[in-house]
Amino acid sequence: MIELLFWGSMALLFYAYAGYPLLVRVLAAVRPLPVALAPHEPRVAAVILVAHNESARLAAKLETLLGQDYPSDRLRILVASDGSTDDTVAVARAAGPRVQVLAFAERRGKAACLNDAVEACDEEFLVMNDARQMLSPDAVRRLLENLADPAVVAVSGELVFGQSGQADFGQGVDAYWRYEKAIRRAEAAFHSVPGVTGAIYAIRRRAFRPIPADTILDDVEIPMIAMAAGGRVVFDHRAIAYDMPSRNASLERVRKTRTLAGNFQLLVRHPSWVLPGGHPLWWQFLSHKVLRLLGPWLMLATLLTNLFLLAQPWPYAIAFALQMAFYGLASIGLLVPAALRFRLVRLCAAFLSLNWFAVLGLVEFVSNRRAHLWRASAAGSRASNP
């Protein structure tokens, strides 16, 4: 029984982080489902969900939207201020007639504001983005080229992390994000992505359904609901939002803990999504999202069962030694920041931290009924969901 638990835990860990990514890449190669890209310039509403009090960077964000390589008479910008108490509303209104402002007096969270913002739109296509990230000049155009394909109901852009001033831990997070994007590209090439990048995506208005006001991961729930009615959600690396990675574990913890709490919320809210036939993307959702939540518990089960099996033949001794080496390198990286300049140490520290955040995400989901209200970090960056 202990041996079964050891090998089962290790197999699930391998599948979640290596087997599934490899399998979906193979499927994308042997059974690709191309998107019928075409020039497409319909009327579009670019909806910004502004975090509480974003006046400091809102003007720069609006500049990237107003400067999009897209017909100006077909691109309307809608700013939803979620109970801001600074100059967010004034900055938005000063941006010009192409910017419409919805100034909500009460802070309710992104999901509630998003529902109201979409209700205020009559355009067939909506582009969603956050206040923090700047967009490439052709981001909207590239997104809409995907929606020229009638089978596509939503399309995610790509979040690109800058390197300027990036700390060693930030490089580990950036490596994880590159790995994550490779999986998303393969999923989209094969069929669909179980979620989008909240910083930049587009959706058909008819595919949007209002979501509960306490939703944490709107950028997963919205596209998953849209796909349930039929259609694809794809990924386009040409539509870019630029950001900076977290410079240390404490900043990344705020962002990732909230994201993982949102995954727990989705699992409780939509348990059928992990069952065959419960959703068109049940396998991808289970493999990509849910198994990541089990990661820390699978790691713990593998380690504890390995301890009981040390008296057994040699494979268990080697497995235990490798686990100790991993935890040792990760601990050194977290306790001695200078050691993070070594790539292996950096990757081990980032992987251990990200799995620890899954534990914190569960605590956040269970204990914090206001988890849908984002919190600004000490560095002033919102806890977003790439």
What is residue 340's DSSP assignment?
G
Q: Phi-psi bin for 312: left (phi > 0), alpha (psi -120 to 50), beta?
A: beta
- The answer as to whether 228 is a domain residue is yes
pLDDT score recorded for residue 380: 40
Which secondary-structure segment (H or E) carries 31? Answer: none
* Residue 225 belongs to a domain: yes
Q: Is 99 helix (H, G, I), strand (E, B) or coil?
A: strand
pTM of the predicted structure, to 2 decimals: 0.88
pLDDT in tens, 329-351: 999 998 998 898 898 999 999 89
The terminus-to-terminus CA distance of the chain in angstroms comes to 39
Report the phi/psi class of residue 231: left, alpha or beta, with left for phi > 0 and alpha for psi in -120 to 50.
left
Q: Is 159 part of a structural domain of the chain? A: yes
Measured CA distances, 356 to 11, 173, 292 (Å): 20, 14, 11
Strands 44-50 and 75-82: parallel
Question: Is residue 195 in some structural domain?
Answer: yes
CA distances from 209 to 128, 132, 143, 168 (A): 14, 25, 20, 41
Q: Is 55 helix (H, G, I), strand (E, B) or coil?
A: helix
Would you say how long the chain is, in residues? Answer: 386
Which residue(s) pair with 78 in the sheet? 47, 100
Block residue for tokens 């058909």:
204
Kindly report the three-state secondary structure assignment for every residue of 228-296. HCCCEEEEEEEEEEEECCCCCHHHHHHHHHHHHHHHHHHHHHCHHHHCCCCCCCHHHHHHHHHHHHHHH
Q: Is residue 86 situated within a structural domain? A: yes
- Collapse the DSSP code of 336 into the 3-class scheme (helix H, G, I; strand E, B; otherwise coil) and give the result: coil
Q: Using alpha carbons only, how large is the chain's radius of gyration in Å?
A: 21
pLDDT at 165: 47
- Dihedral angle of Cα 25, 37, 207, 218, to the nearest 10 degrees: 50
pLDDT (tens, 9 = 90+) of the chain, 386 residues, equals 899 999 999 999 999 999 999 999 999 999 999 999 999 999 998 888 776 889 999 999 999 999 999 999 999 999 999 999 999 999 999 999 999 999 999 999 999 999 999 999 999 999 999 988 999 999 999 999 999 999 999 999 999 887 654 456 666 667 787 899 899 999 999 999 999 999 999 999 999 999 999 999 999 999 999 999 889 999 999 999 998 766 656 767 888 898 999 999 999 999 999 999 999 999 999 999 999 999 999 999 999 999 999 988 889 999 999 999 999 999 999 899 889 889 899 999 989 988 999 999 999 999 987 767 765 443 344 444 44
Which tokens sit at 96? Answer: 């010009």
User: Helices 249-269 & 218-228, crossing angle to 10 degrees?
Assistant: 30
Q: Return the residue matching tokens 């155009």.
A: 141
Write the CATH number for 219.
3.90.550.10
Note whether residue 182 is domain-resident: yes
224 token code pair:
């998953």
Does the residue 330 lie in any domain? no
Q: Give the residue from 268, 263, 254, 272 showing the smallest Cα distance to 291.
A: 263
DSSP letter string, 184-243: HHHHHHHS--SS--TTEEEEEGGG-----TT-S-HHHHHHHHHHHTS-EEEEEEEEEEEE
Domains held by the chain: number: 1
Maximum pairwise Cα distance, the chain: 75
Q: Domain for residue 214, yes or no?
A: yes
Q: Which domain holds residue 118?
A: 44-246
Report the pLDDT value the prediction gives residue 379, as an integer from 0 to 100.
37
pLDDT for the residue 47: 86
